[in-house]
Amino acid sequence: MKKSELRQLIQEEIRTLLSEKIDREIETAIRNNIITSADEDYKKFAKSGKFSDVEPKWEWDLQGGRQFVKIIRDDKGSRSVWGFVAQIDGILKGIPYKRGDVFKAASFNAPAKHKRGNVFVKQNWHWTGPDYLI
C-alpha cells in the first residue's frame, strides 16, 4: 500500500470517528439550514457576476468534538472552516451559549467569542461564513 493510499484511509477513518460524535439533530439542522442556504447564497453571488460556473465546486465536511461541530468547506483539497455549531449548552470565553448556536471561526480549531445565530432558527447563511454579530 502506498503512503498516499494509507494517508487517505487514515483520514477517512478519522472522519468516520469524528462524525459519530455529532448529535444527529444538530447534523440534520446543519445540512438542511446552513449548507443548503450557503450553497444557494453562492449561486446568487455567482449569477450576479460574470462567472461561468454557478454551482459550488466544494464539498462540506462535519467534524464533531466534545462541545462543537466544525463545519469545513473542502474546495479541491483546500480546506477552510466555515464555522462552528454548539452541541451542548456552555460558556465560551466567559459568555454563555445554547445548543445550536453558530459561531464564526477564530482559527481552524477554535470558534470566535460571540454567537452569530442559531442553527435551529431559519435564516440566510452566507457561503463565506456566519454573519458578523447579530
Does the residue 126 lie in any domain? no
On whether residue 114 sits in a domain, the answer given is yes
pLDDT at residue 6, as a whole number: 78
Say what the pLDDT of residue 87 is: 93
In a domain, 133, yes or no: no
**pLDDT, tens digit, 9 for 90 and up, residues 48-85:** 776 666 777 888 999 998 899 999 998 888 899 999 99
In the chain, the number of structural domains is 1
User: pTM score, two decimals?
Assistant: 0.79
Q: What is the domain extent for residue 25?
A: 3-118
> How many Cβ atoms from other residues are within 10 Å of residue 4's Cβ?
8
Average pLDDT, rounded, for the chain:
85
Report yes or no on 127 lying in a domain. Answer: no
Query: Is residue 96 assigned to a domain?
Result: yes
pLDDT at 105 (0 to 100): 93
Q: Mention every residue, 6+ apart, whose C-beta is less than 8 A from residue 73.
A: 58, 59, 60, 61, 79, 80, 81, 82
Residue 87 covered by a domain: yes
61 found inside a domain: yes
- pLDDT tens by residue, 84-98: 999 999 999 999 999
pLDDT of residue 99: 94
